[in-house]
Amino acid sequence: MRPKIFISKIIPVEVEKYISQHCEYEKWESEVPISRDSLLNKLESVEGLLTSGEKINEELLLSAPRLKIVSNMSVGYNNFDIVAMKERGVLGTHTPGILDGSVADLTFGLILSAARRIPEMDQQIREGGWKQGDDRKNFGLDVHGTKLGIIGMGRIGREVARRGKYGFNMDVLYHNRNRDTECEQTLGARFCSLNELLQESDVIVLLIPLTGETVNFIGENEFKQMKSTAIFINVSRGQTVDEDALIHTLASGGIYAAGLDVFHEEPLTSSGLTKLKNVVMTPHIGTATLKMRSDMAMLAAQNLVLALSGEKQNVVKEMHSESAIK
């Protein structure tokens, strides 16, 4: 008898076809996200759950006594209660690797937009504010030839480093739990302390996972160490940054600008960030391309099918040990 799974998000047709070859399944059909109660009611007899962002906690696990595998259609997995899942023998997987280029592309979109004030200039034109001879008020900062500081030199960090080095002739600094000798040899990246990176970098990109130890990893003390001309980019998780400290720093001119794809509360509604001209924001779209979302869904489906057959692929590392960068 084939295992039964539930799919809580709309997935591409080709991914659904793949799943149908291996599992019995039920899927959520609506573009409107499934309610918590509806999700819990679907889980009594399932062995696998294909999802993204749903909180996998004690409440859900109690509603799913046969559950063996939760496969996230994302690289992030801070929705997993690792302790509770371990206690019940439920495996958690994610989709690292395939999305690195897409997130790195967006990272440089944010860097360029913040440095050259592209959204602000676009709005100025739309509002009829472009006047001849007042170019000086539209000045921004160069990106090429500057220092790029990467906090968290994982797969995405390496892609960002390559774009910086080869596309913009940037000197690459990085801070990480461990040294990346390959990145040092191929890109000339320089390993340094966090304080050194913050003080020297012109562009600072935060690329760390969200754990108990990385909440507010960048806060008031870290912002004070940055150059007044620094650009800060966060494409990791919103909770890794003290948002109040960032707002104060941007409003007071402590740094030049910020580019953010992630926030403490999502969707972002009321926030001091929305009142600032020197911050560029996108609605958590790091992997939001047609091809990438399809690839992620397929990899998540493969992770699930393999787990149900007794094999392991892309199991989240915290299923083995806890670790943090700082």
Is-catalytic flag, 237? yes
d(CA 35, CA 31): 12
Is-catalytic flag, 87? no
d(CA 296, CA 171): 32
DSSP-assigned beta bridge partners for residue 191 = 174
What lies within 8 Å, CB to CB, of 63 at 6+ separation is 40, 41, 43, 44
- The beta strand positions in the chain, using DSSP E, are 4-7, 24-27, 48-51, 69-72, 91-93, 147-151, 171-175, 190-191, 203-206, 231-234, 257-260, 279-281
20 by DSSP, 3-state: which?
A: helix
Q: Judge if the upstream peptide bond of residue 267 is cis by omega within 30 degrees of 0.
A: yes
Is-catalytic flag, 266? yes
Q: Which one of the listed residues 237, 243, 293, 318 is annotated catalytic?
A: 237
What lies within 8 Å, CB to CB, of 36 at 6+ separation is none
Q: Is 79 within 8 Å of 9 (Cβ atoms)? A: no
Degrees to nearest 5, angle at CA 107 with 105 and 113: 105
State the amino acid at position 156 in one-letter form: I
Q: Which one of the listed residues 14, 213, 266, 322 is annotated catalytic?
A: 266
Q: Which residues are catalytic?
A: 237, 266, 284
